[in-house]
């Protein structure tokens, strides 16, 4: 999501832009204080609020401030007509008003999604590449792929498939449940849309991808590890399916920014040039070199500049051309993700949360880089694919929450008598700091004043901890220091707003990977901001297990209860619960596994024209995939059966919970 909307009872100016403000430490966000200081003016307007919060920087063309001082959404971007703008405050009112008053009776916080924005993003991306292809004389086309890990929500994925059908838009999966999701969704999409299978793969994953090809889905198995090739060759032969294979190359080009850790030679995904040559050799020996048709790479998310983009794409185009020279049946170059979003509104290539280019710049750079290399090598232009996840979905949703209360720090007023009493109770060192503070103030040495004030405060805290200063005196030193700050103009009073939100639950990107999000009040933007603010959520922290999420639709782990015993291994497993199945995690994202299975089953009946026994085996295998865990299965536990590798004996069904007797001991250690 590009923005966090906040309902408050007075306009608030964040200290440094659009960071989510949960602690004072967030003030050091890298945006200069003067950049969006509140202008000194007696007149205020929505336009000034738009400048203050840089809404035109991070929000254009989808977010604006209307004449009422509310945030409006422009669902069709620049093509939005005035009467089509959506006032977010009215949306909140409709959602939160009681049902008997015509509302929906929903409680905040609230995620609001705008499918029209999603459609516009797809159209804009396709239009940018279409223009670049035409203007550069490129002799192939562009077709996008949406990486479902960016947002696996059922309606988001279904909308992308629906809106992208005319563009041959496809999906990318990185795990078995994502693959099941993509297979089911693409049954209603373009027959030319790619189903790109990324991520580490076991036998079941590869079998499932080959089933997708059998169902006439345009599936490409992208090799992330060299050893995956043996599985692809072996299983495809047993299933009598000719695979389409891609490989992910580790480029030398590295994105050195915050989101570039998975790029470069030392990235955990992809193959080195030596491994690529071995893959080509093995495919040639197996008579399957024509199956190698796609080159995939990923420079890193949030690519900051077109210079870096051109460098990486140019290197990849060289690898592509070499694969053509070696005899591979190359058709596609998949440039991965990296199309950046301007989160702070600075339009800067020097920022990890901004980019120094637009959508058209990005598309033109890619097309130019591929065309230049291919023309020089006399190689046929490949179809260009991209996996632009955040660029597609980021703008289409907002999280709206309310400020329920506010506090401000206000020290007590000190009279001359109270001040004298305070000084009398100080120890000699603290009293010396007070005298030095007074002298520095008389001389006008303000930096020295702050130094002695801080030193005085710390000595008083130490006295209090030792029991030599009462709590009234401790409050008095706060008053002294606050008075000094105000007197020398160093005071910047900040109001803390308590918001009805859990950062850990609703904004995991913020605390997990330091992702910055723009934040802005959704109303009263026609009023002059009255205070700088810190937004403080409801939570005080989180624990390891509570932080687990559904990234890539990997659910939680299985759970064992282990007790100490007198057994040879000193423990016994007395309780075991399996982790969530693929169906479970799909349900968590509002998908309906039963309907998905029926869709795939009907697809099988339509395209697999073999004996009834094969269709039944295929249906059973699909059904089992929904009930298996998303995590990789050890190779030793798999053997081929029907269309999958699965256990053919000693299959143990485990329900929601099971008790294991004392005799069940496991010879493993846990670090």
User: Are 124 and 142 a contacting pair, CB within 8 Å?
Assistant: no
Q: How far is CA 545 from its chain centroid? A: 20
Task: Please give the Cα distance from 237 to 246 (Å, whole number).
Answer: 17
Report the relative pairing of strands 383-385 and 332-334 from DSSP bridges: parallel
Return all residues near 68 (Cβ < 8 A) that are at least 6 apart.
Answer: 46, 87, 523, 526
User: Are 197 and 221 a contacting pair, CB within 8 Å?
Assistant: yes
- 147 half-sphere exposure, CB direction, 13 A CA radius: 24
The answer to whether residue 481 is catalytic is: no
User: Are 178 and 192 a contacting pair, CB within 8 Å?
Assistant: no
- Which tokens belong to 187? 């049954």
| H runs (alpha helix) in 286-358 | 306-325
User: Are 118 and 146 a contacting pair, CB within 8 Å?
Assistant: no
- 601 half-sphere exposure, CB direction, 13 A CA radius: 17
* Run of H or E including 596: helix 593-607
Task: Please give the Cα distance from 77 to 517 (Å, whole number).
Answer: 20
| H runs (alpha helix) in 33-187 | 46-52, 55-58, 88-96, 115-136, 154-164, 176-186
Q: For the purposes of burial, counting CB atoms within 10 Å of the CB of 449, is it exposed (0-12), middle (13-18) or buried (19 or more)?
A: buried
Return all residues near 12 (Cβ < 8 A) that are at least 6 apart.
Answer: 6, 495, 497, 521, 529, 530, 531, 532, 533
Task: Please give the Cα distance from 95 to 516 (Å, whole number).
Answer: 27
* Run of H or E including 210: helix 203-214
From the candidates 7, 197, 481, 540, give the one annotated as an active-site residue: 540
Q: Which residue has the tokens 């723009």?
A: 518
Return all residues near 565 (Cβ < 8 A) that are at least 6 apart.
Answer: 571, 572, 662, 665
Query: Could you say which DSSP state residue 633 is in?
Result: P
Task: Please give the Cα distance from 108 to 91 (Å, whole number).
Answer: 12
User: Are 146 and 389 a contacting pair, CB within 8 Å?
Assistant: yes
Strands of 447-558, DSSP E: 494-499, 519-521, 531-536
Active site residues: 540
């Amino acid at each position: 999501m590009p923005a966090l909307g906040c309902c408050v009872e007075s306009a608030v100016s964040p200290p440094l832009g659009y960071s989510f403000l949960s602690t004072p430490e967030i003030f050091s966000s890298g945006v200069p204080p003067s950049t969006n200081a509140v202008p000194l003016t007696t007149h205020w307007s929505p336009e000034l609020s738009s400048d203050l919060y840089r809404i035109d920087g991070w929000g254009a063309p989808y977010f604006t401030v209307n004449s009422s001082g509310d945030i409006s959404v422009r669902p069709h971007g620049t093509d939005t007509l005035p009467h089509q703008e959506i006032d977010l405050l009215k949306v909140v009112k409709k959602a939160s008003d009681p049902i008997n008053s015509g509302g929906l009776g929903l409680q905040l916080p609230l995620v609001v999604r705008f499918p029209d924005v999603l459609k516009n993003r797809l159209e804009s991306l396709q239009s940018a590449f279409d223009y670049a292809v035409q203007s550069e004389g490129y002799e192939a086309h562009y077709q996008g792929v949406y990486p479902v890990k960016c947002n696996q929500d059922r309606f988001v994925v279904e909308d992308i498939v629906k809106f992208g059908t005319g563009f041959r838009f496809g999906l990318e999966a990185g795990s078995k449940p994502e693959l099941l999701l993509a297979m089911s969704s693409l049954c209603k999409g373009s027959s030319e849309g790619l189903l790109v299978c990324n991520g580490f793969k076991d036998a079941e994953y590869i079998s499932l991808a080959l089933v997708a090809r059998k169902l006439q889905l345009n599936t490409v198995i992208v090799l992330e590890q060299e050893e995956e090739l043996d599985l692809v060759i072996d299983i495809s032969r047993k299933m009598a399916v000719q695979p389409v294979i891609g490989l992910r190359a580790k480029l030398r080009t590295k994105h050195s920014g915050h989101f570039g850790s998975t790029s470069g030679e030392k990235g955990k995904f992809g193959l080195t040039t030596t491994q690529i040559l071995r893959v080509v050799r093995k495919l040639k020996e197996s008579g399957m070199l024509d199956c190698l048709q796609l080159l995939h790479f990923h420079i890193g998310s949030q690519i900051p500049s077109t210079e870096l983009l051109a460098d990486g794409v140019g290197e990849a185009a060289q690898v592509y051309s070499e694969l053509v020279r070696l005899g591979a049946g190359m058709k596609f170059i998949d440039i991965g993700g990296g199309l950046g979003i301007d989160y702070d509104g600075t339009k800067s290539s020097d920022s990890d949360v901004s980019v120094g280019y637009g959508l058209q710049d990005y598309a033109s750079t890619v097309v130019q880089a591929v065309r230049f290399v291919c023309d020089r090598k006399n190689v046929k232009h490949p179809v260009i694919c991209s996996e632009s996840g955040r660029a597609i979905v980021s703008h289409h949703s907002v999280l709206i929450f309310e400020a329920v209360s506010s506090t401000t720090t206000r020290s007590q007023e000190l009279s001359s008598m109270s001040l004298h009493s305070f000084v009398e109770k100080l120890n000699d060192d603290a009293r010396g700091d007070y005298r030095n503070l007074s002298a520095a103030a008389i001389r006008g040495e303000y930096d020295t004043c702050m130094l002695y004030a801080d030193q005085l405060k710390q000595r008083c805290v130490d006295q209090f901890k030792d029991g030599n200063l009462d709590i009234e005196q401790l409050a008095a030193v706060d008053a002294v220091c606050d008075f000094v700050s105000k007197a020398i103009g160093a005071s910047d009073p900040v109001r803390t707003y308590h918001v009805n939100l859990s950062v850990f639950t609703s904004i995991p990107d913020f605390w997990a990977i330091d992702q910055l999000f723009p934040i802005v009040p959704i109303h009263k933007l026609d009023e002059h901001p009255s205070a700088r603010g810190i937004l403080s959520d409801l939570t005080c922290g989180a624990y390891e297990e509570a932080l687990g999420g559904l990234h890539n639709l990997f659910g939680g782990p299985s759970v064992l209860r282990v007790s100490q015993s007198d057994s040879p291994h000193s423990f016994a497993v007395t309780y075991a619960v399996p982790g969530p199945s693929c169906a479970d995690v799909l349900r968590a994202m509002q998908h309906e596994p039963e309907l998905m299975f029926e869709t795939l089953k009907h697809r099988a009946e339509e395209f697999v024209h073999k004996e009834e026994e094969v269709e039944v085996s295929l249906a059973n295998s699909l059904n089992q995939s929904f009930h298996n865990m998303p995590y990789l299965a050890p190779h030793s536990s798999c053997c081929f059966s029907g269309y999958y590798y699965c256990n053919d004996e000693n299959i143990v069904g485990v329900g929601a919970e099971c008790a294991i007797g004392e005799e069940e001991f496991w010879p493993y250690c846990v670090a």
